[in-house]
Structure 1
Amino acid sequence: MSTSKPTEIIVQRVPLWFAVALTVIISLPFGTLLGKYNLALWASFIAWAEYFALGAKPSALKLIWILYPLGAFTMAIFATFNNYFVVYAGWNLLTSVAVWIFIWVAIAVYIMRFHPLFQQGSLPYFNGLSMYLALYFAGVRPGAGAGPLTGDPLIDPWILWIWVSLAGIFGGFLGWLNILLTFPKKIVK
């Protein structure tokens, strides 16, 4: 008499390599055809990879969709402080960046101790933080993924935050869509 339990396996009816290529094609209009509202697809692709790193299950979306924007939020605060002190208080750019990035990165990491979601989702949290900084320091402009910036040094950090957050949310969706496009099927053996 056999005592082994049946096992479930997932079979991809469409190969992953094809589903990935198809997902990239589906994403392209969101980074190329929306004018100043284009998303920074490379930032989306970071969150897409997070979906796989977090198990490629829909439950990963909660971590990405909450923590990626939250990580970016902490750096939008940094950017607001930095822009204020450089533009309105006349601080040296390098001094301002050094002071405010030290403070806001320290705060961003310190608050992680207060909720277990941060430990589960440290990857999307830090990626949101780093993707915000990447777009901010690269000086990305409208049409290249920064959103419809206004030129106002106190408003633009928040427009950029929205666009970085949308890129991360879209990336999580792309990860989910990528798995869906493999047309997975459960088989019990």
Structure 2
Amino acid sequence: MALDQTAEVQLETAKTKDTIPFWLAVSITVMVILPLGLYFGQYSLPLWVAFIVWAEYFALGAKAGNITTIIPAYTSGALWGVAMILLYTWLATFITGAAVFSLYIALFVGVSAMVFAMRYFKVFQIGSLPYFNGLSMLLAVYFVGAHPAFTTNAYVLVLMAGAYALAGGYLGWIIGWFNVTITFPRPVAPKPAATTRV
């Protein structure tokens, strides 16, 4: 006697569909933030910093919850960079010869401490990308002068570079969230379970 056996195919995982196409949402996002980098003179934000962290937003899941990884990791990396450049600035005041020697010392000490700290903080391990990008963005902002220079005080200039590297990074997370949000994703009903008879 033949026995009927029913095999149910599981429901598909709930999916979403963008109301506004992703490619258009990216272009809209660029248009929204462009004025921040164009129309404020020396106070304009370095948008390339924001674009890099925007990419990190997607690399780390493209979900608002990644704020708990990106922001603390990026902030810490940038602050490590501030500490290194402050040390470099201080060493350069009394180390004679090429200033690059002071930079070598500051980066060697700072990067060693920065990497060593990773073993004690899980967020630095999970967020190693924004952690090291925080450092690289601080160094880039400082050395290309992508920050206001309304003083000749070397230490204040380092702090201004830090503020602008942080502002650019935070803007990057915001536009990553904005980019996803304005697609207005809507749920797509899963297909009904299919049954087969054997």
TM-score after normalising by structure 1: 0.91
> CA contact under 8 A between 1:149 and 1:160: conserved in structure 2?
no
1:96 corresponding residue in structure 2: 102
Q: Deviations over 1:47-92 (max 9, x none)?
A: 0000000000001122222211210100101111111222x21433
SS in 2 for 1:73: helix
**Aligned residues: CA RMSD:** 1.5
Partners of 1:62 and 1:165 in 2: CA distance: 15
- Please state if 1:46 is matched with 2:47: no
Q: Deviations over 1:120-158 (max 9, x none)?
A: 1111111111111112222x1xxxx41455221112211
Counterpart AA for 1:29:
P
| Equivalent residue for 1:137, pick from 134, 143, 150 | 143
> CA contact under 8 A between 1:149 and 1:159: conserved in structure 2?
no
Please, which runs of 5 or more residues in structure 1 have no aligned partner? none
Partners of 1:72 and 1:31 in 2: CA distance: 20
| Equivalent residue for 2:130, pick from 124, 128, 136 | 124
Deviates more, 1:46-55 or 1:88-97: 88-97
> CA contact under 8 A between 1:39 and 1:147: conserved in structure 2?
no
SS in 2 for 1:155: helix
> CA contact under 8 A between 1:68 and 1:126: conserved in structure 2?
yes
Partners of 1:52 and 1:107 in 2: CA distance: 28
2:25 corresponding residue in structure 1: 19
Counterpart AA for 2:176:
G
2:185 corresponding residue in structure 1: 184
Counterpart AA for 1:21:
S
1:172 corresponding residue in structure 2: 173
Partners of 1:64 and 1:38 in 2: CA distance: 23
Moved over 6 A (4+): none
Partners of 1:76 and 1:126 in 2: CA distance: 13
Deviation at 1:5, TM superposition (A): 3.0
> CA contact under 8 A between 1:76 and 1:158: conserved in structure 2?
yes
Which protein is bigger by CA-based radius of gyration? 2
* CA distance 1:79–1:90, shift in 2 (3 Å): same
Partners of 1:148 and 1:178 in 2: CA distance: 32
Partners of 2:150 and 2:18 in 1: CA distance: 42
> CA contact under 8 A between 1:7 and 1:188: conserved in structure 2?
no
SS in 2 for 1:150: coil
1:33 corresponding residue in structure 2: 39
Partners of 2:14 and 2:122 in 1: CA distance: 30
2:116 corresponding residue in structure 1: 110
Percent identity over paired residues: 34
Counterpart AA for 1:89:
F
TM-score after normalising by structure 2: 0.87
> CA contact under 8 A between 1:61 and 1:173: conserved in structure 2?
no
* CA distance 1:148–1:45, shift in 2 (3 Å): same
